[in-house]
Protein backbone atom coordinates (compact mmCIF):
# COMPACT_ATOMS: atom_id res chain seq x y z
CA UNK A 1 0.00 0.00 0.00
CA UNK A 2 1.74 3.14 -1.19
CA UNK A 3 -0.32 5.91 0.31
CA UNK A 4 -2.59 4.49 2.99
CA UNK A 5 -5.51 6.56 4.22
CA UNK A 6 -4.89 7.39 7.87
CA UNK A 7 -7.48 8.62 10.34
CA UNK A 8 -6.37 9.97 13.70
CA UNK A 9 -9.07 9.45 16.33
CA UNK A 10 -9.14 11.89 19.25
CA UNK A 11 -11.66 11.37 22.09
CA UNK A 12 -12.52 14.67 23.77
CA UNK A 13 -14.37 15.41 26.97
CA UNK A 14 -14.53 19.06 27.99
CA UNK A 15 -11.33 19.88 26.14
CA UNK A 16 -12.04 23.45 25.00
CA UNK A 17 -8.75 24.62 26.56
CA UNK A 18 -6.52 22.40 24.44
CA UNK A 19 -8.61 21.82 21.36
CA UNK A 20 -7.43 24.77 19.30
CA UNK A 21 -3.81 23.75 19.80
CA UNK A 22 -4.37 20.08 19.10
CA UNK A 23 -6.34 20.83 15.94
CA UNK A 24 -3.52 23.02 14.69
CA UNK A 25 -0.73 20.61 15.56
CA UNK A 26 -2.44 17.48 14.24
CA UNK A 27 -3.47 19.22 11.02
CA UNK A 28 0.11 20.36 10.47
CA UNK A 29 1.34 16.84 11.20
CA UNK A 30 -0.93 15.30 8.58
CA UNK A 31 0.15 17.91 6.06
CA UNK A 32 3.81 17.00 6.62
CA UNK A 33 3.13 13.28 6.40
CA UNK A 34 1.21 13.81 3.17
CA UNK A 35 4.08 15.80 1.70
CA UNK A 36 6.46 13.03 2.69
CA UNK A 37 4.28 10.59 0.80
CA UNK A 38 3.64 8.44 3.87
CA UNK A 39 -0.14 8.83 3.75
CA UNK A 40 -2.91 9.59 1.27
CA UNK A 41 -4.32 13.11 0.94
CA UNK A 42 -7.68 11.62 1.96
CA UNK A 43 -6.38 11.21 5.52
CA UNK A 44 -8.45 12.81 8.27
CA UNK A 45 -8.53 13.69 11.95
CA UNK A 46 -11.70 12.57 13.71
CA UNK A 47 -12.50 14.34 16.97
CA UNK A 48 -15.01 12.38 19.05
CA UNK A 49 -17.01 14.58 21.38
CA UNK A 50 -17.84 12.41 24.37
CA UNK A 51 -20.84 14.41 25.56
CA UNK A 52 -18.84 17.48 26.58
CA UNK A 53 -20.57 20.18 28.55
CA UNK A 54 -18.35 23.01 27.34
CA UNK A 55 -17.62 24.44 23.90
CA UNK A 56 -15.81 21.34 22.60
CA UNK A 57 -18.39 20.24 20.02
CA UNK A 58 -19.00 23.73 18.70
CA UNK A 59 -15.26 24.12 18.10
CA UNK A 60 -14.96 20.75 16.35
CA UNK A 61 -18.02 21.40 14.23
CA UNK A 62 -16.79 24.80 13.15
CA UNK A 63 -13.55 23.22 11.92
CA UNK A 64 -15.47 20.48 10.11
CA UNK A 65 -17.37 23.06 8.10
CA UNK A 66 -14.12 24.41 6.69
CA UNK A 67 -13.91 21.23 4.63
CA UNK A 68 -10.28 20.46 5.53
CA UNK A 69 -8.94 17.39 7.28
CA UNK A 70 -10.93 17.80 10.48
CA UNK A 71 -14.05 15.73 11.07
CA UNK A 72 -16.28 15.29 14.11
CA UNK A 73 -18.28 12.56 15.75
CA UNK A 74 -20.74 13.63 18.41
CA UNK A 75 -21.92 11.09 20.95
CA UNK A 76 -25.33 11.52 22.49
CA UNK A 77 -23.90 11.64 26.04
CA UNK A 78 -20.73 11.03 28.04
CA UNK A 79 -19.82 7.35 27.81
CA UNK A 80 -16.20 7.52 28.98
CA UNK A 81 -12.86 7.51 27.21
CA UNK A 82 -12.85 3.81 26.25
CA UNK A 83 -16.25 3.75 24.61
CA UNK A 84 -15.70 7.12 22.95
CA UNK A 85 -12.49 5.76 21.48
CA UNK A 86 -14.30 2.67 20.26
CA UNK A 87 -16.96 4.80 18.56
CA UNK A 88 -14.18 6.71 16.79
CA UNK A 89 -12.34 3.57 15.71
CA UNK A 90 -15.44 1.91 14.29
CA UNK A 91 -16.49 5.01 12.43
CA UNK A 92 -12.97 5.70 11.11
CA UNK A 93 -12.25 2.21 9.83
CA UNK A 94 -14.93 2.46 7.17
CA UNK A 95 -12.91 5.08 5.30
CA UNK A 96 -9.33 4.26 6.37
CA UNK A 97 -6.53 1.77 5.91
CA UNK A 98 -5.16 2.49 9.37
CA UNK A 99 -6.27 4.43 12.45
CA UNK A 100 -4.21 6.04 15.20
CA UNK A 101 -5.77 6.89 18.56
CA UNK A 102 -4.40 9.75 20.65
CA UNK A 103 -5.63 11.88 23.56
CA UNK A 104 -6.77 15.43 22.95
CA UNK A 105 -4.22 16.93 25.37
CA UNK A 106 -1.34 15.73 23.13
CA UNK A 107 0.57 14.33 26.10
CA UNK A 108 1.70 11.63 23.71
CA UNK A 109 4.39 12.77 21.32
CA UNK A 110 2.73 13.28 17.94
CA UNK A 111 6.07 13.03 16.16
CA UNK A 112 6.17 9.27 16.67
CA UNK A 113 3.08 9.00 14.45
CA UNK A 114 5.63 8.99 11.64
CA UNK A 115 7.34 5.93 13.20
CA UNK A 116 3.93 4.25 13.57
CA UNK A 117 3.36 4.70 9.85
CA UNK A 118 6.78 3.38 8.90
CA UNK A 119 5.97 0.23 10.90
CA UNK A 120 2.60 0.03 9.16
CA UNK A 121 4.36 0.22 5.80
CA UNK A 122 6.60 -2.62 6.98
CA UNK A 123 3.49 -4.74 7.41
CA UNK A 124 2.62 -4.41 11.10
CA UNK A 125 -1.10 -4.46 11.89
CA UNK A 126 -0.85 -3.01 15.42
CA UNK A 127 1.79 -0.57 16.67
CA UNK A 128 1.83 0.22 20.41
CA UNK A 129 3.14 3.57 21.63
CA UNK A 130 5.14 2.86 24.78
CA UNK A 131 6.38 5.51 27.22
CA UNK A 132 10.10 5.23 27.67
CA UNK A 133 9.84 6.99 31.03
CA UNK A 134 7.23 8.51 33.30
CA UNK A 135 9.09 11.65 34.31
CA UNK A 136 6.11 13.85 33.44
CA UNK A 137 3.88 11.98 35.91
CA UNK A 138 3.69 12.71 39.61
CA UNK A 139 5.52 10.29 41.91
CA UNK A 140 2.14 8.99 43.07
CA UNK A 141 0.82 8.28 39.57
CA UNK A 142 4.11 6.70 38.57
CA UNK A 143 4.25 4.28 41.49
CA UNK A 144 0.56 3.35 41.39
CA UNK A 145 0.79 2.72 37.65
CA UNK A 146 3.84 0.53 38.16
CA UNK A 147 2.11 -1.55 40.84
CA UNK A 148 -0.91 -1.86 38.57
CA UNK A 149 1.12 -3.32 35.69
CA UNK A 150 2.88 -5.69 38.11
CA UNK A 151 -0.41 -6.84 39.61
CA UNK A 152 -1.90 -7.42 36.15
CA UNK A 153 1.14 -9.47 35.26
CA UNK A 154 0.85 -11.61 38.39
CA UNK A 155 -2.79 -12.44 37.74
CA UNK A 156 -1.99 -13.37 34.16
CA UNK A 157 -3.26 -10.44 32.09
CA UNK A 158 -1.06 -9.70 29.11
CA UNK A 159 -0.59 -5.91 29.02
CA UNK A 160 1.99 -3.94 27.05
CA UNK A 161 4.00 -2.30 29.85
CA UNK A 162 3.63 1.51 29.95
CA UNK A 163 1.31 1.60 26.97
CA UNK A 164 -1.88 3.64 27.24
CA UNK A 165 -4.25 4.09 24.32
CA UNK A 166 -1.78 5.69 21.91
CA UNK A 167 -1.53 3.13 19.09
CA UNK A 168 -1.95 2.42 15.41
CA UNK A 169 -4.34 -0.25 14.25
CA UNK A 170 -4.91 -1.43 10.71
CA UNK A 171 -8.45 -1.67 9.37
CA UNK A 172 -8.11 -5.44 9.62
CA UNK A 173 -7.19 -5.23 13.32
CA UNK A 174 -10.20 -3.00 14.05
CA UNK A 175 -12.46 -5.43 12.16
CA UNK A 176 -11.24 -8.14 14.53
CA UNK A 177 -11.66 -5.82 17.54
CA UNK A 178 -15.30 -5.38 16.57
CA UNK A 179 -15.83 -9.09 17.19
CA UNK A 180 -14.97 -8.63 20.88
CA UNK A 181 -18.45 -7.72 21.95
CA UNK A 182 -17.92 -7.06 25.65
CA UNK A 183 -19.56 -4.05 27.22
CA UNK A 184 -17.07 -3.90 30.12
CA UNK A 185 -14.30 -2.40 28.10
CA UNK A 186 -10.59 -2.19 28.87
CA UNK A 187 -9.05 -1.71 25.45
CA UNK A 188 -5.40 -2.05 26.34
CA UNK A 189 -6.12 -5.51 27.69
CA UNK A 190 -8.26 -6.56 24.73
CA UNK A 191 -6.14 -5.29 21.83
CA UNK A 192 -3.22 -7.68 22.62
CA UNK A 193 -5.74 -10.53 22.47
CA UNK A 194 -6.25 -9.80 18.76
CA UNK A 195 -2.73 -11.00 18.06
CA UNK A 196 -1.67 -10.26 14.44
CA UNK A 197 1.72 -8.79 13.62
CA UNK A 198 2.44 -6.19 16.32
CA UNK A 199 5.34 -4.07 17.45
CA UNK A 200 6.17 -1.20 19.83
CA UNK A 201 7.47 2.32 19.36
CA UNK A 202 9.01 4.23 22.30
CA UNK A 203 8.41 7.89 23.11
CA UNK A 204 8.58 10.42 25.93
CA UNK A 205 5.25 11.51 27.35
CA UNK A 206 4.80 15.24 27.96
CA UNK A 207 2.67 17.20 30.37
CA UNK A 208 -0.90 18.09 29.40
CA UNK A 209 -1.00 21.06 26.97
CA UNK A 210 -3.72 22.76 29.02
CA UNK A 211 -6.85 21.96 30.98
CA UNK A 212 -7.25 19.42 33.77
CA UNK A 213 -6.97 15.62 33.79
CA UNK A 214 -10.30 13.83 33.37
CA UNK A 215 -8.89 10.93 35.39
CA UNK A 216 -8.69 11.91 39.06
CA UNK A 217 -7.69 9.24 41.60
CA UNK A 218 -11.22 7.91 42.09
CA UNK A 219 -11.73 7.33 38.36
CA UNK A 220 -8.23 5.85 38.03
CA UNK A 221 -8.92 3.26 40.74
CA UNK A 222 -12.29 2.41 39.19
CA UNK A 223 -10.65 2.05 35.77
CA UNK A 224 -7.93 -0.29 37.13
CA UNK A 225 -10.53 -2.38 38.92
CA UNK A 226 -12.54 -2.55 35.70
CA UNK A 227 -9.41 -3.72 33.90
CA UNK A 228 -8.75 -6.50 36.38
CA UNK A 229 -12.27 -7.83 36.77
CA UNK A 230 -13.20 -7.62 33.10
CA UNK A 231 -10.16 -9.55 31.96
CA UNK A 232 -9.42 -12.06 34.68
CA UNK A 233 -11.16 -14.43 37.07
CA UNK A 234 -8.02 -14.86 39.17
CA UNK A 235 -9.29 -12.60 42.02
CA UNK A 236 -12.38 -14.76 42.43
CA UNK A 237 -10.19 -17.87 42.48
CA UNK A 238 -7.98 -16.23 45.06
CA UNK A 239 -11.02 -15.68 47.27
CA UNK A 240 -11.72 -19.38 47.06
CA UNK A 241 -8.15 -20.20 48.04
CA UNK A 242 -8.30 -17.80 50.99
CA UNK A 243 -11.62 -19.33 52.04
CA UNK A 244 -10.18 -22.81 51.86
CA UNK A 245 -7.10 -21.81 53.84
CA UNK A 246 -9.15 -20.23 56.60
CA UNK A 247 -11.28 -23.39 56.70
CA UNK A 248 -8.12 -25.46 57.18
CA UNK A 249 -6.84 -23.13 59.87
CA UNK A 250 -10.15 -23.28 61.72
CA UNK A 251 -9.97 -27.11 61.61
CA UNK A 252 -6.53 -27.06 63.19
CA UNK A 253 -7.66 -24.62 65.87
CA UNK A 254 -10.80 -26.67 66.44
CA UNK A 255 -8.72 -29.79 67.12
CA UNK A 256 -6.42 -27.83 69.40
CA UNK A 257 -9.26 -26.42 71.48
CA UNK A 258 -10.91 -29.87 71.73
CA UNK A 259 -7.61 -31.33 72.90
CA UNK A 260 -7.34 -28.57 75.48
CA UNK A 261 -10.90 -29.21 76.69
CA UNK A 262 -10.32 -32.93 77.26
CA UNK A 263 -6.68 -33.08 78.27
CA UNK A 264 -5.85 -29.69 79.66
CA UNK A 265 -7.84 -26.86 81.17
CA UNK A 266 -9.77 -24.38 79.09
CA UNK A 267 -9.35 -20.71 79.59
CA UNK A 268 -12.02 -18.56 78.02
CA UNK A 269 -10.20 -17.02 75.05
CA UNK A 270 -12.32 -14.02 74.38
CA UNK A 271 -9.63 -12.29 72.31
CA UNK A 272 -9.04 -15.15 69.93
CA UNK A 273 -12.76 -15.69 69.58
CA UNK A 274 -13.64 -12.14 68.74
CA UNK A 275 -10.65 -11.80 66.40
CA UNK A 276 -11.60 -14.83 64.40
CA UNK A 277 -15.23 -13.74 64.17
CA UNK A 278 -14.15 -10.42 62.75
CA UNK A 279 -11.60 -12.00 60.48
CA UNK A 280 -13.95 -14.55 58.99
CA UNK A 281 -16.79 -12.02 58.81
CA UNK A 282 -14.58 -9.57 56.94
CA UNK A 283 -13.36 -12.22 54.56
CA UNK A 284 -16.87 -13.36 53.86
CA UNK A 285 -18.14 -9.88 53.17
CA UNK A 286 -15.20 -9.17 50.90
CA UNK A 287 -15.76 -12.39 49.01
CA UNK A 288 -19.46 -11.75 48.56
CA UNK A 289 -18.61 -8.28 47.28
CA UNK A 290 -16.18 -9.64 44.75
CA UNK A 291 -18.57 -12.31 43.55
CA UNK A 292 -21.20 -9.56 43.30
CA UNK A 293 -18.85 -7.52 41.12
CA UNK A 294 -18.56 -10.37 38.65
CA UNK A 295 -22.29 -11.04 38.70
CA UNK A 296 -22.86 -7.34 38.07
CA UNK A 297 -20.57 -7.56 35.06
CA UNK A 298 -22.45 -10.58 33.70
CA UNK A 299 -25.71 -8.70 34.22
CA UNK A 300 -24.41 -5.75 32.24
CA UNK A 301 -23.14 -7.97 29.43
CA UNK A 302 -26.41 -9.87 29.12
CA UNK A 303 -28.36 -6.67 28.59
CA UNK A 304 -26.42 -6.03 25.37
CA UNK A 305 -27.02 -2.32 25.57
CA UNK A 306 -25.40 -0.17 22.88
CA UNK A 307 -21.95 0.99 23.98
CA UNK A 308 -22.48 4.44 22.52
CA UNK A 309 -25.04 6.34 20.50
CA UNK A 310 -23.91 8.60 17.70
CA UNK A 311 -25.71 11.90 17.44
CA UNK A 312 -23.78 13.20 14.46
CA UNK A 313 -20.95 11.85 12.31
CA UNK A 314 -19.31 14.25 9.88
CA UNK A 315 -16.83 11.63 8.66
CA UNK A 316 -19.24 9.17 7.13
CA UNK A 317 -22.52 11.01 6.88
CA UNK A 318 -23.30 14.18 4.96
CA UNK A 319 -23.57 17.23 7.21
CA UNK A 320 -27.22 18.17 7.65
CA UNK A 321 -27.80 21.23 5.45
CA UNK A 322 -29.74 23.18 8.05
CA UNK A 323 -26.68 23.11 10.33
CA UNK A 324 -24.40 24.79 7.84
CA UNK A 325 -23.84 28.52 8.50
N1 LIG B 1 -11.93 11.54 27.84
C2 LIG B 1 -13.13 11.18 27.22
N3 LIG B 1 -14.22 10.89 28.01
C4 LIG B 1 -14.16 10.92 29.38
C5 LIG B 1 -12.92 11.26 30.00
C6 LIG B 1 -11.82 11.57 29.19
O7 LIG B 1 -13.21 11.13 26.00
O8 LIG B 1 -15.18 10.65 30.02
C9 LIG B 1 -10.75 11.86 27.00
C10 LIG B 1 -10.07 13.16 27.31
O11 LIG B 1 -10.68 14.25 26.67
C12 LIG B 1 -8.65 12.90 26.81
C13 LIG B 1 -8.47 11.42 27.05
O14 LIG B 1 -9.77 10.87 27.23
O15 LIG B 1 -8.54 13.15 25.41
C16 LIG B 1 -7.62 11.10 28.26
O17 LIG B 1 -8.02 11.86 29.36
P18 LIG B 1 -6.99 12.65 30.29
O19 LIG B 1 -5.93 13.28 29.45
O20 LIG B 1 -7.77 13.57 31.16
O21 LIG B 1 -6.38 11.47 31.16
P22 LIG B 1 -4.89 11.34 31.75
O23 LIG B 1 -3.96 11.57 30.59
O24 LIG B 1 -4.78 12.38 32.79
O25 LIG B 1 -4.83 9.94 32.27
MG1 LIG C 1 -3.90 13.22 29.42
3-state helix, strand, coil in the chain (%, to 5): 50, 15, 35
Sheet bearing 163-170, strands edge to edge:
198-203, 126-131, 163-170, 98-101, 6-12, 44-49, 70-75, 310-313
Most ligand 1 atoms within 8 A of CB, residue of 8, 12, 13, 80 to mutate = 13
How many angstroms is it from 215 CA to the middle of ligand 1? 7
Longest dimension (CA), the chain: 95
pLDDT in tens, the chain (325 residues): 789 999 999 999 999 999 999 999 999 999 999 999 999 999 999 999 999 999 999 999 999 988 889 999 999 999 999 999 999 999 999 999 999 999 999 889 999 999 999 999 999 999 999 988 777 777 887 888 888 888 888 888 888 888 989 999 999 999 999 999 888 888 998 999 999 999 999 998 877 777 788 877 888 888 888 888 888 888 888 887 888 888 788 778 778 877 877 787 766 776 777 778 877 887 888 888 888 888 888 888 888 888 899 998 888 766 655 554 4
Nearest-CA neighbor of 87 among 11, 167, 16, 15? 11
User: What ipTM is given for this predicted complex?
Assistant: 0.95
Q: Ligand 1 within 6 A of 81 CB?
A: yes
CB of 308 closer than 8 Å to CB of 83:
yes
**For residue 320, what pLDDT is reported?**
57
Most ligand 1 atoms within 8 A of CB, residue of 10, 11, 138, 144 to mutate = 11
Q: Ligand 1 within 6 A of 131 CB?
A: no
Q: Look up the pTM and report it.
A: 0.80
Amino acid sequence: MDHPILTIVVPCYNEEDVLEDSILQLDQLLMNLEEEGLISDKSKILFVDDGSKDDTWRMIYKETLKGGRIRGLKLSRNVGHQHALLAGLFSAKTTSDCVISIDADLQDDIHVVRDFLIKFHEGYEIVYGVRSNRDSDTFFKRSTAQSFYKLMNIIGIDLVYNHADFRLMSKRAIDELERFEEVNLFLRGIVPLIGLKSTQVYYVRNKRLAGKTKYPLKKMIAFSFEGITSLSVTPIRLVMVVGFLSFLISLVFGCYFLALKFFGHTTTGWTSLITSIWLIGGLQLMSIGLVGEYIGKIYKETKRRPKFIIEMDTLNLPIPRHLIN
